[in-house]
Chains A and B, each alone.
Chain A
């Protein structure tokens, strides 16, 4: 993992000190709310329905046991004993007091964490593949590049007041676990024919009220020039992005209105001009220094299986089911990747208590190489490097903490934004919809029978719950004062990213649960075979069979 150098540490401490002064001046009446709001947002502090909400950055979703314990401490001392992992690999605390926030930020700085640029019209926390450094399909570890982007984008003077927020995601694997195609910039590390590492650069993806899939503007940017190319993209956006209408200010709108060819041409021209200036590209030595923090840990030489693990899997059906859904192959023989589901049946997606945070930290210390933990955009956690022989013990400890739900990638693994229960922007509740769907599909055998299924729920058109890219997407709206839910089918956030299409008229708060079950039952009835996934059946037959079951004769 990356460790702060003296510049990082000073930068973060200075920012805390500045914010402490800003809070004091706000409380004393020396700053108006209009003056203060952009300052608190740049420090991740929102005002929500019940209280202030603090969004803490987890850069590229990577943190460790020490940092998790600090989050648990903050949850206990400054909040109400829990936190909420978000769809951008961050964590939010929902019951924060303004006058305590500088102390919280100081505590975060103690463990090299902060809330800088988790809000505002700047480059937000860069997200990445949560299996980085462990995945079998990885070409290049994206964390070093995400860290380089973090350093380049933090307090970047030219990009601190962009037309709108700006999100970058990076993966170095063939299977997209970072949803790069629905980000303002999506980066995929790849090798060219000469075996050199570079990045495919995609621009203009996003969700919200105008969902778009990002378009590739350059198939291969040599890695040594990544920063200058990103800077060229940001410069073009900063110059041409609309500032007159916040709903048309994201780069996706610019790409759509100007055209991808024109954007490509503008970016290439800017990039070419930049080559004649002092380049922002990192010297090789600095790149290697940062990359060294992410070099592979000292894995033990192990056999490709473990007798104790196999015996437990044979004897314990629950353990076997958990392994089937929550344990993934590791690039290092004898190791595995462990997904920790934060989606217990009937639970609140992404929520975790302070005690559970401490448990995860303890498990990471005991069994995860480097005590590493990852947060996923699906609102779950990952232990990236666990020995096969340790899996039974990890499972037992997770189970004792009610963290061993074996539903990763299945119907119960639902993404949901905080919705109207917490969020000032929401029009409808998301969490209770997720809870009731989760309860409806509580039977894990049924979930395995259904197979891979991504249900995603947003409480408003801002789409924090990623409903546009859910196999089954649900959008809560306010219809004449009543909560109402639109249903979309066919979205996906992986390498075949697509925006889901609305099935037809929406459903009531109660009706949407039945509608989801109708969709699932229709799939089970018409799939070609048990191996055909929901999303593949939908691709094969289209929406009509589902609409007929949902709406009957009205579907026609």
Chain B
């Protein structure tokens, strides 16, 4: 089974977020909770339903993940772009933010 993480957009401002291991919606994909077995993935799906119902996030979806150099990385280009920012504007998006500016949701 492919490794999965849960991505979403924060409802209030649309910021791309990922569910973290601590249950917090983080703005950095490197902090995403990655699950590989059926129970873990089911837990992610439960979290998606709850956070959506609580109006914390919108468009919550499971995405395929890979571990590269010990860090979780989205498998698909679209999700890597979501995680970093536009490839044509390296000054924008998360790729432009200092690591200290970790945003948290809920």
Contacts and interface: CB of A to CB of B under 8 A. Distances in A.
Interface of A: 26-29, 33, 47-52, 80, 95-100, 348, 420-422, 426, 429, 431-432, 435, 481, 483
A234 to B, nearest CB: 32
Contact of B87 (A47, A48, A100, A432): A432
Nearest to B54: A29
B87 A33 contact: no
B40 interface: no
A483 B80 CA distance: 14
Interface in B19-72: 52, 54-55, 58-59
Contact of B88 (A51, A96, A432): A432
B16 interface: yes
Contact of B58 (A47, A50, A483): A47
A429 B87 contact: yes
B13 interface: yes
Contacts of A27: 11-12, 55
B44 to A, nearest CB: 19
A51 B59 CA distance: 11
B14 A96 contact: yes
Nearest to A434: B88
Contact of B9 (A47, A95, A100): A47
B14 A348 contact: no
B4 interface: no
Given A98-B11, A421-B81, A50 B59 contact: no
Q: Is the interface of B mostly helix, strand, loop or mixed?
A: loop
Contacts of B93: 50
A97 B81 contact: no
B55 A421 contact: no
Contact of B86 (A98, A99, A422, A483): A422
Contacts of A26: 11, 55
B54 to A, nearest CB: 7
Given A50-B93, A348-B88, A98 B82 contact: no
20 contacts: A28-B55, A29-B55, A33-B58, A47-B9, A47-B14, A47-B58, A47-B59, A50-B14, A50-B82, A51-B9, A96-B14, A97-B14, A348-B88, A421-B86, A421-B88, A422-B86, A429-B88, A431-B86, A481-B76, A483-B77
Q: Is the interface of A mostly helix, strand, loop or mixed?
A: mixed
B13 A98 contact: yes
Contacts of A50: 14-16, 82, 85-86, 93
Contacts of B88: 348, 421, 429, 431-432, 435
Contact of B16 (A33, A49, A421, A429): A49
Interface bin, chain B: 20 to 34
Contacts of A435: 88
A48 B59 CA distance: 10
A313 B57 CA distance: 58
B81 A420 contact: yes
Contacts of A432: 87-88
B103 to A, nearest CB: 13
Contacts of A483: 77
Contacts of B13: 51-52, 97-100
B94 to A, nearest CB: 9
Given A421-B86, A421-B88, A51 B14 contact: yes
Nearest to A428: B77
B5 to A, nearest CB: 16
Contacts of B89: 348, 421
B73 to A, nearest CB: 14
Nearest to A423: B78
Contacts of B92: 80, 95
Contacts of A49: 16, 78, 81-82
What 7 A-B pairs are tightest by C-beta distance, nearest first?
A51-B14, A97-B13, A421-B86, A52-B14, A29-B55, A431-B88, A49-B82
A40 to B, nearest CB: 10
A221 B87 CA distance: 49
A95 B16 CA distance: 11
B13 to A, nearest CB: 4
Nearest to B76: A481
Contacts of B55: 26-29
A431 B86 CA distance: 10
User: Which residue of B88, B92, B93 has the most chain A CB atoms within 10 A of its CB atom?
Assistant: B88
B15 A51 contact: yes
Contacts of A422: 86
B98 to A, nearest CB: 16
A96 B14 CA distance: 8
Nearest to B59: A47
A348 B54 CA distance: 38
Contacts of A98: 11-14
Contacts of A28: 55
